[in-house]
Structure 1
Amino acid sequence: DGIDFFTLSWGGDLAIVGASVGGSEQSQLFLVDTRTGRRRQLTNKPEARYGMVVWAKDDRSIYYRSNEKNGRDFYIYHMNLADGKTEEIFGNDSTLDGSKWIANMSQDGTKLIISRALSNTDNELWLLDLPSGQYTALTKDSGDVLYEAPVLMPDNKNILLLCNDNPEGRLRLAWMEVGSPDVHFVNDGWIDPRWEIDDMVVSRDYRYITVRVNENGYARLKAREIESKLELPSPPLDGMLSGGYFDSSGTCVFTYSGPTQAPDVWRWNPADSELTQLTFTSYAGIDRTTFIMPKLVSFRSFDSLEIPAFLYLPPGYEEGTPVPFLVYAHGGPESQFRPGFYRNFQYFLLNGYGILAVNPRGSSGYGKTYRDLDNYKNRKHSLMDYKAAVDWLIANGYTRHGMIGIRGGSYGGYVVLGMITEYPDLFAAAADAVGIANFKTFLENTKPYRRYLREAEYGPLSDSAFLMEISPITKADRIKTPLLVIHGENDPRVPVEEARQIIKAIRDNGGVVDSLIFPDEGHGVAKRGNIIVRYRKEAAFFDRYLKKPQ
């Protein structure tokens, strides 16, 4: 099953590894010696989930979160590694229920910043004093506000962070003082205000800050000295960069990927502009110069809103020639399609397909207003964006009716089902992976710790009439499009019953449906053998229906 995560000790000779079975995401904790590989299991409660580990400064104990208490709410715990004894240190308060995690530890190891999610687009920060056990609220606001990547500076008085409580609703660099909820944005011209910052890293010695800037989906790294504000040269790479961890020598380690470049780790020295690739992903003998770069495009939707998308065209494409096309729907929905490395994209492209990856209303990366345009009662407006995407492809001669398919996973799987029920004549084939068919049963059966976060996005269970109105299962009799359904038996997010419901409904109505239900997978397909089975099945499925003689 592989591992879910790992967290290195400050000395680097030990690691906490999180691992779960069969895609369940119920991670258990293991202590691993990084030199010998010896390991010791620290937790063994398969019904509980553990994670978000932070090491104590002496490497003798750890802090982490778990929902072992009731399966729903996450509490913060401390564990002594010598004897395995644990202590609950934060969250045992009826006003602090829900999902909480450790966002940062102070330099002296005496304080933790705790983040508590109120929804996927709203959180609050708390400061926990470890010696006394006392905690205080750091933030206070009246709306949906995100406070991300907070770092308590060595004086234990000032906090660097990202926040979107500004007129544009974009995550920007800011600072706060402990004891005041006021957020002060850094408006010194370092970051272009058109773009959002989606991550921030401060070096261990608090000398450097690195931010990842989201430029229409592309990720750029920018770094500077915190005290002098001297900007450092950025790595000369174009694509998806993340991380930006400085060591004591002033060199920076980061990951880099792109549409034609699988993820690898690189090192950059701003002082002498030395760039070194540290890892080398295998391409299994495939010539990556044959891979295709996308083009950033946009089109107008039903209400004239401009919708961004990435357009991939097969090699040798001749303008105005219709080719088989796949519309790709990302998950989330508060997510964003970004031009990283997608192995299956390149396979489809090299086999004559075009792909349009859409970032409809509701996507992140474009500010709070755009992100919230599909909330609750506006759910179907994002589907109308996908309809506009197909109209745009046809109007520009890229494809034609009978040659267009749609595929997506998780929330993107719902989009697939929503599109073939709302627009039954639009697509010639569709593939839904781990998608929602029935919002009511989805909310009833998803893991308890996820339910309130999803109700904030899709609507409350108390409004079951609306949930059923937007559920594809209620219109399954309209489905004409051949459908491939892919799901994992152990999915804790979108239970496999969602797949079984839509499969049964289509079969009962005499429709065309095929399926892949993996007994050893969860929310997605992670095992290599299963991935190959899935990709082969999808490719053959779309070939069958989109490459018919016209």
Structure 2
Amino acid sequence: MFLYNRETKEMKLLSEHEGNINFRPIEFSDDNKYLYYMTDKDSEFIYIMKYNIETGESEKVYSDDWDVRYAYHSYNSKYYIVGINKDGKTVVKIFDKDNKDVKFPEFDGASISSVNISKSEKYMTFYVSASNSTSNLYFYNFETEEYKQLTNTMNPEINKDDLVNAEVIRYKSFDGLEIPSILYKPHNASKDNKVPAMLYIHGGPGGQSTLGYRSQIQYLVNHGYAVIAVNNRGSGGYGKTFEEADDMKHGEDDLQDCIYAKQYLASVGWVDTTKIGIMGGSYGGYMVAAALAFTPEEFAVGVNIFGVTNWLRTLKNIPPWWEDYRQALY
């Protein structure tokens, strides 16, 4: 991360470090005295710092036990908005100039995105989505603390009662590591009516399955399939150590995490364990190919959606200007 002075033409390195540490600038303060940025230096999770341009000193602004996804000030800096990736959903916090919490509408089980505060700083818009609800735009009045929904994006031909709420679950893998996942249970599933199941593996590596609306998954669940979206080791959102746990080992420990999801599904009592498949796209598609090639007896079916099947070819064909991405990819 560099700071460039347009008047003096001076370029200053701000992020001197060794190892895998993230730095990302956010914005300058209104008086141009500070640069706000995000980093995970000396931490499992991404947090917010501010850099004093005059003194060269940095101080922590906000940290959590989860990654900060985004942060920014409103137009006149009356409010400071922070988005946190909390266990598979985005939680938004708003602070005033005294760093006190500002009341924000609560939506149980939903994720908030695209928070936008008006220039007058009296109004706010944002989007709300959940596992059983498409993303909708809301309007909020800071003075009256009232909000209203402005859009209804759900297809009118879809009966919302047919959709299911997902839940975050965890199970232990072969080495005792806890694997966070998102579980979708069909309405008709029971111990007397066991259903087939599909593992859903996200893209990446470093991606994450979250509690947002997924039409493809809801379609499968509506047709009687249980779905478990596995956030195997190597997934983002659960700390630096967890994300780096499959480096140089794709198709090995991360695949075992997927296989051990079968044990969890067997424990719920309403899944037909003879009919468990695996599907995914990109990196998730690679995991499907790895499962069928390396452990052909584990899954009844595999659905590989544009998955990587030759890592050497993929890595060799990444252009030089994506070198950092190439290194992170494997």
TM-score if structure 2 supplies the norm length? 0.92
Q: Aligned pair in 2 of structure 1 residues 134, 149: CA closer, same or farther (>3 Å)?
A: closer
Q: Distance in 1 between matches of 2:240 and 2:23?
A: 13
Q: Distance in 2 between matches of 1:418 and 1:304?
A: 22
TM-score if structure 1 supplies the norm length? 0.56
1:403 aligns with 2:279: no
Paired AA for residue 67 in structure 2: E
Deviation of the 1:452 alpha carbon:
4.5
Match of 2:114 in 1: 243
Match of 1:155 in 2: 31
Q: Aligned pair in 2 of structure 1 residues 380, 181: CA closer, same or farther (>3 Å)?
A: farther
SS in 2 for 1:442: helix
Cα contact 2:190–2:269 (8 A) shared by 1: no
Q: Aligned pair in 2 of structure 1 residues 249, 421: CA closer, same or farther (>3 Å)?
A: same
1:228 aligns with 2:98: yes
Cα contact 1:201–1:244 (8 A) shared by 2: no
Q: Distance in 2 between matches of 1:151 and 1:303?
A: 42
SS in 2 for 1:231: coil
1:194 aligns with 2:65: yes
1:88-116: CA deviation from partner (whole Å, max 9, x where unpaired): xxxxxxxxxxxxxxxxxxxxxxxxxxxxx
Q: Aligned pair in 2 of structure 1 residues 374, 337: CA closer, same or farther (>3 Å)?
A: same
The match for 2:79 among 205, 208, 213 is: 208
Match of 1:389 in 2: 261
Deviation of the 1:131 alpha carbon:
4.4
Gaps of 5+ in 2: none
Q: Aligned pair in 2 of structure 1 residues 378, 316: CA closer, same or farther (>3 Å)?
A: closer
SS in 2 for 1:373: coil
Within 5 Å, give how 1:472-511 maps onto structure 2.
none
Match of 1:335 in 2: 207
Q: Distance in 2 between matches of 1:382 and 1:405?
A: 16
Q: Distance in 1 between matches of 2:286 and 2:140?
A: 41
Q: Distance in 1 between matches of 2:288 and 2:266?
A: 19
Q: Distance in 2 between matches of 1:292 and 1:236?
A: 20
Match of 2:322 in 1: 450
1:144 aligns with 2:20: yes
Q: Aligned pair in 2 of structure 1 residues 382, 206: CA closer, same or farther (>3 Å)?
A: same
Deviation of the 1:322 alpha carbon:
2.7
Paired AA for residue 236 in structure 1: E
1:165-192: CA deviation from partner (whole Å, max 9, x where unpaired): 134x1012322222677542236xxx6x
Match of 2:146 in 1: 274
Match of 1:361 in 2: 233
Q: Distance in 1 between matches of 2:267 and 2:169?
A: 14
Paired AA for residue 40 in structure 2: N
Deviation of the 1:384 alpha carbon:
0.9
SS in 1 for 2:271: coil
Deviation of the 1:333 alpha carbon:
1.3
SS in 1 for 2:195: coil
1:171 aligns with 2:41: no
Match of 1:185 in 2: 60
Cα contact 2:251–2:290 (8 A) shared by 1: no
Paired AA for residue 203 in structure 2: G
Paired AA for residue 289 in structure 1: D
Q: Aligned pair in 2 of structure 1 residues 307, 291: CA closer, same or farther (>3 Å)?
A: same
1:262 aligns with 2:134: yes
Match of 2:89 in 1: 218
Deviation of the 1:385 alpha carbon:
0.5
1:292 aligns with 2:167: no
Q: Give the percent of matched residue pairs that are identical in Structure 1 and Structure 2.
A: 27
Match of 1:130 in 2: 6
Deviation of the 1:378 alpha carbon:
6.4
1:416 aligns with 2:301: no
Cα contact 1:393–1:399 (8 A) shared by 2: yes
Cα contact 1:436–1:442 (8 A) shared by 2: yes
Larger Rg: 1
Paired AA for residue 150 in structure 1: I
Q: Distance in 2 between matches of 1:305 and 1:266?
A: 39
Q: Distance in 2 between matches of 1:183 and 1:141?
A: 15
